[in-house]
Amino acid sequence: MSDTMPIEDYLARGGVLSSPANVPPRYRGELLRLMASFVDSELAGSAGFADTINDAPGIQERISAARIVLEKADHAGQVLSVMETFGADGGRYAVHHPWAERLAREADIGAARQGGDMRLSVFHYPLQGWVDAVVMNVLMGRASVVQLKELSRVSYQPLAEVFRAVLPRETRHAELGLAGLVRVVEDEDGRANARASVAYWYPRVAASFGHSGSARFETLSRFGLRHTPNETLLAEWRAEVDAQLSALGLN
């Protein structure tokens, strides 16, 4: 059974890699970029949400917000440990960007990364109070679930396993958000504020799915690092959140 095949063919046919030693160079670069994007987004998401804890209107909401802050940092740590097996300096990495920093509310950066900070563009925008944070968490929470389901199939097994373990907790975060939003829309003021936040966040979260017909997607899918095109994931997300928003009279 010594027959082998080129690693590129193996990956193109759905093969799985299991350690840094069997990862080819270009795959390595794309894999690390993908991991960095997740780590930066989780750290920025966690950091941005931290202030929200003090805006929470009740004990239960405070606990939910604190739990989201805690667990997103933990998820970042889990993926950073996989990056460390490729030589990344985890200690330095965790502090190399000011994760809580945000652009102006009205800045318009589309889907663009900012410098060496690989967080999804949506995490560069600031939250404005409790209702705004809840709406952002509902919309981005659902997006994270859609994106994590896709990432749970990545061809690098140690990473796929982390994503599979993280998925139920991220799903819970989105559910906590939705429960919070149900309480927000109980009164008319809350509903009006939530509507304004939906109008602000919806296009920005949608942009985080990336461009349709992306050239990078082609490269990533050859490596088994992506499977479903950006536009399909975006459509899936739209269908899910549109239904949730219309049930609450928010769209």
Give the interface with another protein as residue ranges (CB under 8 A).
1-5, 7, 9-10, 13-19, 21-22, 24-26, 28-30, 32-33, 36-37, 40, 83, 85-89, 92-93, 96-97, 115-116, 118, 152-153, 157-158, 160-161, 164, 215-216, 219
Q: Residue 44 CB, nearest distance to another protein (Å)? A: 13
Q: Is the dihedral of CA 174, 179, 180, 182 positive or negative?
A: positive
Q: Residue 50: what residue type?
A: A
Q: CB-wise, 119 or 195, nearer to another protein?
A: 119
Cβ closest to another protein, residue 87 vs residue 110: 87
Length of the chain: 251
Nearer Cβ to another protein (3/188): 3
Nearer to another protein, 130 or 217 (CB): 217
Two structure tokens written together for 20: 């840094």
What are the helix (H) ranges across the chain?
Answer: 7-12, 25-50, 59-84, 90-94, 129-151, 157-184, 188-207, 215-222, 230-247
Closer to another protein at the Cβ: 62 or 227?
Answer: 227
Task: Give the shortest CB-168-to-another protein separation in angstroms.
Answer: 12
Minimum separation from the CB atom of position 17 to another protein (A): 6
- In degrees and rounded to multiples of 5, residue 51 shows phi and psi of -65, -30
Q: CB of residue 210 vs another protein: minimum separation in angstroms?
A: 14
Of 174, 38, 39, 51, give the one whose Cα is nearest residue 101.
51
